[in-house]
Amino acid sequence: MENKNIALAQEAAYADELTQPVPQKRKINRAKLQENIWGWIFVSALVLGTTVFVYIAFILSLWISFTDYDAFIMTTFWEGLGSIHPDGFWHWYQYMFTAEGAYGVAGEMEDFWGTLGTTCFYLIGIPIGMVLSLGIAVLMTRDIKLSGTFRVIYYIPTVASTVSIAVMWTNLFGDGGFMATVFGINLLAAGTHPALQKMCVILLTVWKGLGGTVVLFVAGLNGVNASYHEAAEIDGANAWSIFWRITMPQLYPTIFYVLVTSVIGGMQIFIEPNLIFGNYPATGNMATSGTRDNIPFVGYIFGVFNNGEWAHASALGIILAIIIFLLTLIQFALDARRDKA
């Protein structure tokens, strides 16, 4: 019955369309055409760069992860691309989850989950940094003098070269050094628990990332509509509830932006642990538990790459891309649910 109705309606619509005069195809005038052409010319470099250096590179990376490309066996790139792995496409994706290691020291799976866990451990710095910088931003947006100067001072570590900072940090926290004598914090001494050693990197990322977040939060807080504050104050709300009920909801977009970008960046942490704790062991025999514990996931990819297992490293890279994509997706999904509620 219903189907028939729909069919009838469709027919009627079709008939209607037929009876309507066909709109004359308008010629795009010259000016419009020129704007189109010039628009494409202006964006062409960016589009070309993005396509070649990101999208095609990603597809190639995916392709390489299916091959048996090994730097020490194959000489040319084309040879590597042509050699689909004899054990099947998914060899490297299965291999990274094998429990028995190639050298019998530690299985690939242990390294995979271990380094991934380390990366996630380093993410602890994000909430700490956000709470701290929110507090500092609130202090800065109060009606005080020198707030511009403070902003510049807090931003200095953010622009400083990470490599230099990491070298400095290693010595600042060195065994029996400044931090040990002044604050009694001896994180890098031999035999310290790996979790405590990792705190050293977390402190570095929090210290270094604080300025950027503070500046963003200050901008966000300045953008909060002042009239709401006044209205709430007249209604007799105290500072605490004004902050939670009025400031925070309006600051939410900034917080979300900072969270998403710092999770994406935090999953790719490499330089700080690499310079403080050293490289991923060059071969299985050189593995020492002390350093292996603190290697992040990108350090693992880099180590595998240095060992010449390019196909394996590519597969790990693809996994990292998927993890970051999923994390971002989860955050956006939570954001959407919050909007609905």
Partner 1 sequence: MTDKILETMDEPVEENVLTEVPSGENAEAEKGGKFGNALRKAGKAVGRFFKNIPAYLRAALRTFCGWFGFGVFGGRSSKKRKKIFFDVIGYTLLTIGGITMLYPFWWMFAASLAGPTIGADGVTVTSNALQNMITTIFWPAATSNFGLFYNYQQAITLLNSAWQTVTIGGQAYAFWRSVINTLLYSLIPVTVGVFTSASAAFAFAKLDFKGKNFVFFYCLAAIMIPFPSIMIAQFCVYSSIGWTDNGLAMIVPGCFGAILTAFFIRQYLYGMPTAILEAARIDGAGYWRQFTSFVIPLAKPAIMAQFILSFMGSWNNYLAPQVFITEDMWKPLTLAIGQLDTSYGTDVTNAPSVMAASVLALLPILILFAIFQKTIIGSIMLTGSKE
Considering only residues 271-290, where is the footprint of partner 1 by CB under 8 A?
A: 271, 275, 278-279
Burial class (CB in 10 A: 0-12, 13-18, 19+), 220: buried
> Judged by CB under 8 A, does residue 80 bind partner 1?
yes
Q: SS3 string of the chain?
A: CHHHHHHHHHHHHHHHHHHCCCCCCCCCCHHHHHHHHHHHHHHHHHHHHHHHHHHHHHHHHHHHHHECCCCCCCCCHHHHHHCECCCCCCHHHHHCCCCCCCCCCCCHHHHHHHHHHHHHHHCCHHHHHHHHHHHHHHHHHCCCCCHHHHHHHHHHHHHCCHHHHHHHHHHHCCCCCHHHHHCCCCCCCCCCCHHHHHHHHHHHHHHHHHHHHHHHHHHHHHHCCHHHHHHHHHCCCCHHHHHHHHHHHHHHHHHHHHHHHHHHHHHCCCHHHHHHHCCCCCCHHHCCHHHHCCCCHHHHHHHHHHCCCHHHHHHHHHHHHHHHHHHHHHHHHHHHHHHHC
Footprint on residues 285-314 left by partner 1 (CB under 8 A): 298, 301-302, 305, 310, 313-314
Give me the least distance between CB of 6 and partner 1, in Å please: 33
Near partner 1 by CB under 8 A: residue from 9, 15, 54, 286: 54
Nearer to partner 1, 152 or 231 (CB): 152
In the bound complex, what is the minimum distance in angstroms from residue 317's beta carbon to partner 1? 3
Site for partner 1 in 14-43 (CB under 8 A): 34-40, 42-43
The closest alpha carbon to 133, from 221, 200, 245, belongs to 221
Instruction: For residue 61, state whether it binds partner 1 (rule: CB under 8 A).
Output: yes
Q: Which two tokens stand for residue 278?
A: 């050293």
The reply to whether 167 sits near partner 1 by the rule CB under 8 A is: yes
With respect to partner 1, which residue has the nearer C-beta, 10 or 50? 50
CB of 305 to partner 1, least distance (A): 6
* Choice between 204 and 246, CB closer to partner 1: 204
Which of 14, 77, 89, 103 touches partner 1 (CB under 8 A)? 77
Nearer to partner 1 among residue 64 and residue 96 (C-beta): 64
CB atoms within 10 A of CB 111: 24
Write down the least CB distance from residue 175 to partner 1, Å: 8
Nearer to partner 1, 69 or 112 (CB): 69
Distances from the Cα of 189 to the Cαs of 119, 165, 177, 186, 272, in angstroms?
A: 21, 19, 10, 6, 17
Amino acid, res. 113: W
Residue 275 Cβ vs partner 1, minimum distance, rounded to whole Å = 6
Only segment of 90-98, 153-161, 190-198, 332-340 that touches partner 1 (CB under 8 A): 153-161
How many residues form the binding site for partner 1 (CB under 8 A)?
101
Label residue 236 left, alpha or beta by phi (over 0 means left) and psi (-120 to 50 means alpha).
left
- Among residue numbers 168 through 227, which ones bind partner 1 (CB under 8 A)? 168-172, 174-178, 181-182, 207, 210-212, 215-220, 222-223
Give min distance, CB of 131 to partner 1, in A.
Answer: 13
What residues numbered 221-260 form the site for partner 1, per CB under 8 A? 222-223, 253-254, 257
Closest distance of CB 253 from partner 1, Å: 6
Judged by CB under 8 A, the residue of 7, 60, 231, 248 near partner 1 is 60
| Contact window for partner 1 (CB under 8 A) among 13-21, 52-60, 106-114, 330-338 | 52-60
Measured from the CB atom, the residue of 18 and 31 that comes closer to partner 1 is 31
For residues 35 and 100, which CB has a smaller minimum distance to partner 1 in the complex?
35
